[in-house]
Structure 1
Amino acid sequence: MDCNEVRPLIDASVDRELSPVDERRVQQHIAGCAACQRETEIVRVLAGTIRQAGYHRAPDALRARIVAGLPGAARSSPPEGARRRAWRLPRFDGWRLPVSVGGGAANGGTAGSGWLTVLVIALCAAVAGVTLTLRRPADVSPFVDELVSSHVRAQLSGRDIDVISTDQHTVKPWFNGRLDYAPPVVDITASGFPLAGGRLDYLDHRRVAVLTYRYRKHVIDVYVFPDTANRSGSDAGAWPGSTAGATLVRDGYSLVRWREDGMVWWAITDAAPDALSALETALKARPQPSE
C-alpha cells in the first residue's frame, strides 16, 4: 500500500474499525512512513480531544441558525413553532453538540466554536463513509472475504501446513479419513511451483483441502473441493463481477477460480496475478497421478 491508499483508512484504523487484513497492511505501511505516522498521531489527538469534550444539548437558538443556513431554508421557512416541532422528530431528539462551557451559544458568545464542532463532525462522517466504500467493493462476495481471511490467518499463525511434504503420494493419503472426498494432489515443480504440503480448513460451512505451493519466495494456497453449487444459500464457486479464469485482486492478494473434473479450484497468493495464471495452466495440464 502507498500513502494515497493508507490516508483514507487512518481514521478507521485509529477507531479499530478495520478488518484484520486491512489493519495489518495499514500498519505495515505506517511503520515505514514518517508522513503517515504524523497523520495517524494527529487523528489520535483529535479523536481523544473530541471524546474528552463536554457534551451539552444544543440551544434552540443554535438549532434555528443551523436550520436557517440549510439550502432552501429561505424559500420554505416554516413558522417558528413548526421549526421547534421539527427538531423534536425522533431522528433529531436527544441530539447533542459539544459547545464551550464558558459561554452560551444563544447569545452569540460561542457560536463560532459551535459551528467549528459541527464542521469537524461532518468531516469525520464524510471520511467514515468514504472509508467504508473503499473497504468493501460491491462486487466482492462474502466467500471471497472468507477465503482471504483464511489465507491470512494461516500465514500469521505459522501453521499454514498440516502435512509438510513435496511428495504427492504423501500429501494425498493424509487427507483420507479427514475429508469426505479425495482432492487431486500433483507436483508441478517442473512448471516452477513445487509442492510444499497441505492442510485442512473450513470454508462455506464445510471442511476443504488446501494444497500449498511455493513460487519463488511466495506462498500459493490452492483450495479444492467438490463443485456443489448453492451450498448454504451461496455458490462457493461463483466469481463476483468476472468470469472464470480472470484474476481478482482483493486486499493486495491475487485470486483465481476455475472448475474442472467436478471440483472447484480457488488459488490465492500475494504474488503478482501472472503467477496464478501460470499455476492454473500447469494444474490444468497436469498428468493424471498414479495411485
Structure 2
Amino acid sequence: MDCNEARPLLDAATDRELSAAEALRLEQHVATCASCRREAQALQAVSQATRVAPYFNAPDALRARLVAALPAVDATDEQEGHASAASDSQPAPVSPRPPSVEPPRPETVPERPPERAFDSIGKVGKFGKFWPGWRTPRGAPTGGGGPAALGRPVAIVGAALAALAVTASLFLLVPRPPAPGSSLVDDLVASHVRAQLSGHDIDVVSSDQHTVKPWFNGRLDYAPPVEDLAASGFALTGGRLDYVDHRRVAVLVYRYRKHVIDVYVMPEQGDGAAPAPSASTSDGYALASWRAGGMIWWAVSDAEPAVLAQLHAALTERLQRPSAERAQ
C-alpha cells in the first residue's frame, strides 16, 4: 500500500469502519510512512477532542423567561366574557329560586384610566411584571395603580416583544442568498479551509507532473494542465478532486515555504462569466484569478497576495513555452 491508497482510508480507520484486512494493511503502511502517520494522529486527535467536548443544555432560566414574557390570559375574565355574550344573545330564564349572591373578590383594586396607567409603568419599570421574582409588597404604595393597573399596557408590550423575538429568530434561521459575485469566492475559500482542517488535502501525492496529470484522466471531463514550478519557488506536492460551483474541478497543490497554495483549474465556458485577472482577499485568505491555456485558474492561500502574483507570472510563463520544452 502506498500513500495514494492510504490517505482515503485514514478517515474510515479513525471511525473503525475498515475490515480487518484493510486495517492491517493500513497499519503496516502507517508504521513506515511518517507523513501518513502524522495525518492519522491528527485525525485521531480531532476525533478524541470531539467525543470529550462538553454538551451544554439550555438553562431552565431561559425557558422561564420565555414563558413569563408571553401575555397571560385571565381565566376569570374569559369566563365572564363568555357568560356576558350568552346573556346578551338569550333571554334570562325565570327561576323560582332566589338569585345566588356572588362572593366578593378578595383585594379588588379599581383600575385606573389608561393615561395614568402608563405613568405607573414609568415609575415601577416597563417590564417588571414579566420578570420572575418581581412582586409589589402588600400594602406598599404603587404609584396609584400597582400591578393591576399595569396589566393591560404591560401585556401589550409583552406581546409585542414576543412577536418581535419570533420574527427576529425566523430572520436569523432563514438562509439569505449570497451577494452577487461572492458565491464562487466563498466556495473556493470554504474548499481550501475544509481541506486543510480535514487533513485530506491531497488525493495523489507526487511532485512529478507526469504522475499527477494522468491521475485526473477518467475522473474529470477535461484535462487540466499540470506544471512543476519548483524552479520558481513553488513546489508541486500533488493534486485532488473537489466540488466547486456545482461541478467537479481539479485542484493542484503547491507549497511556497510553509504556505499551502490550492490552484483550482476549470475549463472556460465561453459565456463570459469567467473573471478577469484579479486579486482579492476573503476571510483573511488571498485569492487570485486569471485565464490561461483555455482554462480559468483560481489560487487560494494564506500567503501574501504578492506570492500569488508571483505564482501567476511563473505559471503563465511556463504555459507559453512550447509543449516539447514543457514536457522536460
Question: TM-score band (shorter)?
Answer: 0.5 to 0.7
CA-based RMSD: 4.5
Mapping of residues 94-105 of structure 1, within 5 Å = 99-101=130-132, 102-103=134-135
Instruction: Give the AA of the match of 2:327.
Output: S
- Larger Rg computed on CA atoms: 2
Which of 285, 292, 316 does residue 260 from structure 1 map onto? 292
Instruction: Give the AA of the match of 1:181.
Output: Y
Matched, 1:107 2:139: no
Aligned length: 203
Shift of 1:226: 0.6
Question: Does the Cα contact within 8 Å between 1:56 and 1:98 map onto a contact in 2?
Answer: no
Shift of 1:144: 1.3
Question: Does the Cα contact within 8 Å between 1:164 and 1:197 map onto a contact in 2?
Answer: yes
Matched, 1:290 2:302: no
Q: Which residue number corresponds to residue 70 of structure 2? A: 56
Q: Percent identity?
A: 52
3-state SS of the aligned residue for 1:187? coil
Q: Which residue number corresponds to residue 225 of structure 1? A: 266
Question: Does the Cα contact within 8 Å between 1:196 and 1:212 map onto a contact in 2?
Answer: yes
Instruction: Give the AA of the match of 1:205.
Output: H
Shift of 1:122: 8.7
Residues 11-34 of structure 1, C-alpha deviations (whole Å, 9 max, x = no match)? xxxxxxxxxxxxxxxxxxxxxxxx
Change (3 A) 1:98 1:223: farther
Distance 2:317 2:253 in 1: 18
Change (3 A) 1:50 1:164: same
Shift of 1:177: 1.4
Per the normalisation by structure 2, the TM-score is 0.50
Shift of 1:169: 0.9
Change (3 A) 1:263 1:207: same
Change (3 A) 1:56 1:185: same
Q: Which residue number corresponds to residue 204 of structure 2? A: 163
Distance 1:151 1:267 in 2: 10
Distance 1:47 1:260 in 2: 57
Distance 1:48 1:264 in 2: 54
Distance 2:316 2:268 in 1: 16
Shift of 1:178: 1.3
Per the normalisation by structure 1, the TM-score is 0.56
Mapping of residues 146-225 of structure 1, within 5 Å = 146-225=187-266
Matched, 1:145 2:186: yes
Distance 2:312 2:236 in 1: 14
Change (3 A) 1:100 1:153: same
Shift of 1:245: 2.7
